[in-house]
C-alpha cells in the first residue's frame, strides 16, 4: 500500500509571466506550500490550461502532464553544458504549456547533495569518475533525490493521476510508491553536447539498471511496491 502522506496546503499562488532567452514565452501560476515534509521551498508551476486539465481529471478524463524537475543552478540559470537540465526545463515548460499541467520545481540541487558538493563531484568527474561514482566518492548517495514533497504537492493540487514527463524510472517508482497513479511515462528529449556526452551516457545506463531491477521484481506502475 502507498505510504500515507502528511497533508500540505497551498500557501500562496501568483501569476508570473515567463520569457526564455530563446524568445519563448508563456505564463505560469506559481504555487507555494505549507507542510512539505522536508521544509524546503519547492514550487509548482501551473502551465497552459492547467485549470482545464484539473477539470478534465476530476471527471475521469486524461491525466495532466507533470514534470518533477530538480533544481540545477548551473544548468537552469547559467546554461551549463555539463548537464542537460537547462534544455530539459525549457522543453518541459513548453510541452506542459501546450497541453495544460504542472512543472514541479524541486529544490534538490545536484541529485540532492547540494550545489557545492555537486561542484566537488564535477572535479572528481574531471578526474575520471562518472556522475554517480563521484557522489559516492564524496560519501553521498548516488542519487539522494526524494519525491515525497512532489507527491504531497500533487495531492494538494488535486492531481492523483499523472502523465509523467521524465526519462528517469526512479521518479516513476518513487511517485507510484507514494500513491501517485502514473498512467504513462513520456520520455524527455536528449540534448547532447560534447561537454555532457559522458554524463548522459551514465544517466542512460542508470535508467536501464533501474528498469531491469523493476522488471526482475515484476514491478509496473500499476503495482506499487
Q: Which of 46, 48, 68, 75 binds Zn ion (CB under 5 A)?
A: 75
**Per CB under 5 A, does 134 bind Zn ion?**
no
**Per CB under 5 A, does 66 bind Zn ion?**
no
Burial zone of 48 (CB within 10 Å; 0-12 exposed, 13-18 middle, 19+ buried): buried
DSSP state of 42: -
Q: Which stretch binds Zn ion (CB under 5 A): 4-12, 13-21, 69-77, 130-138?
A: 69-77
Nearer to Zn ion by C-beta: 72 or 93? 72
> Per-residue string for binding with Zn ion, 14-53, x by CB under 5 A?
----------------------------------------
DSSP state of 2: P
Q: Which of 83, 89, 97, 153 binds Zn ion (CB under 5 A)?
A: 83
> Per-residue string for binding with Zn ion, 171-190, x by CB under 5 A?
--------------------
Say if residues 155 and 8 touch (Cβ distance below 8 Å). yes
Cα angle 191, 95, 57 (rounded to 5 degrees) comes to: 140
- Residue 146: in which H helix or E strand, if any? none
Q: Which of 44, 45, 66, 72 binds Zn ion (CB under 5 A)?
A: 72
Cα(85)–Cα(69) distance, integer angstroms: 8
DSSP string of 72-86, one letter each residue: -IIIIIT--SSSSHH
**Per CB under 5 A, does 110 bind Zn ion?**
no
**Per CB under 5 A, does 121 bind Zn ion?**
no
Residue ranges that bind Zn ion, judged by CB under 5 A: 72, 75, 83, 85
Amino acid at each position: 500500500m502507498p505510504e500515507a502522506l502528511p497533508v500540505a496546503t497551498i500557501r500562496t499562488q501568483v501569476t508570473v509571466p515567463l520569457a526564455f532567452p530563446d524568445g519563448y514565452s508563456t505564463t505560469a501560476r506559481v504555487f507555494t506550500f505549507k507542510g512539505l515534509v522536508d521544509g524546503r521551498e519547492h514550487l509548482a508551476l501551473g502551465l497552459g490550461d492547467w485549470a482545464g486539465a484539473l477539470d478534465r481529471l476530476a471527471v475521469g478524463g486524461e491525466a495532466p502532464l507533470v514534470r518533477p524537475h530538480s533544481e540545477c543552478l548551473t544548468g537552469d540559470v547559467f546554461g551549463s553544458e555539463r548537464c542537460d537540465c537547462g534544455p530539459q526545463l525549457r522543453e518541459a515548460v513548453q510541452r506542459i504549456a501546450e497541453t495544460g499541467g504542472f512543472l514541479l520545481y524541486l529544490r534538490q540541487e545536484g541529485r540532492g547533495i547540494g550545489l557545492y558538493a555537486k561542484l566537488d563531484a564535477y572535479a572528481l568527474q574531471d578526474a575520471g569518475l562518472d556522475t554517480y561514482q563521484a557522489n559516492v566518492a564524496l560519501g553521498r548517495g548516488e542519487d539522494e533525490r526524494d519525491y515525497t514533497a512532489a507527491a504531497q504537492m500533487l495531492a494538494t493540487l488535486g492531481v492523483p493521476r499523472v502523465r509523467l514527463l521524465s526519462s528517469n524510472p526512479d521518479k516513476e517508482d518513487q511517485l507510484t510508491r507514494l500513491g501517485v497513479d502514473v498512467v504513462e511515462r513520456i520520455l524527455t528529449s536528449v540534448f547532447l553536447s560534447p561537454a555532457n556526452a559522458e554524463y548522459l551516457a551514465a544517466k542512460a545506463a542508470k535508467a536501464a539498471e533501474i528498469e531491469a531491477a523493476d522488471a526482475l521484481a515484476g514491478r509496473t506502475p500499476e503495482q506499487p511496491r
